[in-house]
Amino acid sequence: MNEYNTDETVIDVEHLYKSFGDNRVLNDINFSLRKGENLVVLGKSGAGKSVLIRCIVRLNWPDSGIIKVFGINILEVVEYELNKIRRKIGYLFQGGALYDSMTLKENLLFPLKRGMKNYPESEYDNLVDEVLESVGLLDVKDKVPSELSGGMKKRAGLARTLVLKPEIILYDEPTSGLDPFTSEDISELIVSIKEKFNNSSIIVTHDMKCAKKTADRILVMEHGKFISEGNYNDLKSTKWMI
């Protein structure tokens, strides 16, 4: 893994709480994401991992706390300012969130034309091809999602995320539902994406092999709290990594 900037942070979360009814999902969450870092949030299903990254882009509204992205508290900004920040963040949903009626190329062109209106239109196709090549899907760009395998859909979702050149990527269970070989491919792709594009990333997962492969640092979450922190070697002998 490449070295990351241990001094500069791109996300800072302080005293974050979130409940759904009587169920407290996030309980005093505090952490920072460093520039150029792959940070893994590791935990079982229901631990609160996905809710955490949904709060970071304000898809879920927390009960209290501070979420600073590039130094701006996103809980205090109006929708227009929030959308400007969101353009710098890529979000890879578990299901890929592709448009079924569009080809893979059209799926990438759609956010590109909406989110990068100042980009020369003559360069759109070149950018799409470049991104698809980086995830190994250039030869299937004219296929629709139903013609793609599960692993290819994950790659396609990542390509659509990358096409807007985000500074931060949030991965929601990137290897969920995949066979071991495809999971390994996706984990390797996450590492290569950081090395190529120098993104900062939060990867939420319950997959130990994905965590080992992708993480610069791991935060272990249980019942809405972080209970341990370190790299894989630091944590591998604890009960959470067995």
Q: Please give the order of strands across the beta sheet that includes 225-230.
A: 89-92, 168-172, 200-205, 38-42, 217-222, 225-230
pLDDT at 147 over 60: yes
The per-residue pLDDT for range 198-208, each reduced to its tens digit, is 999 999 999 99
The per-residue pLDDT for range 60-113, each reduced to its tens digit, is 999 999 999 999 999 999 999 999 999 999 999 876 678 889 999 999 988 887
pLDDT at 53 over 70: yes
> Is residue 127 very low, low, confident or very high in pLDDT (cuts 50, 70, 90)?
confident
Domains of the chain: 1-88+167-242 (3.40.50.300), 97-165 (no CATH)
CA distance 184 to 199: 20
Helix or strand or coil: residue 11? strand
pLDDT of residue 118: 67
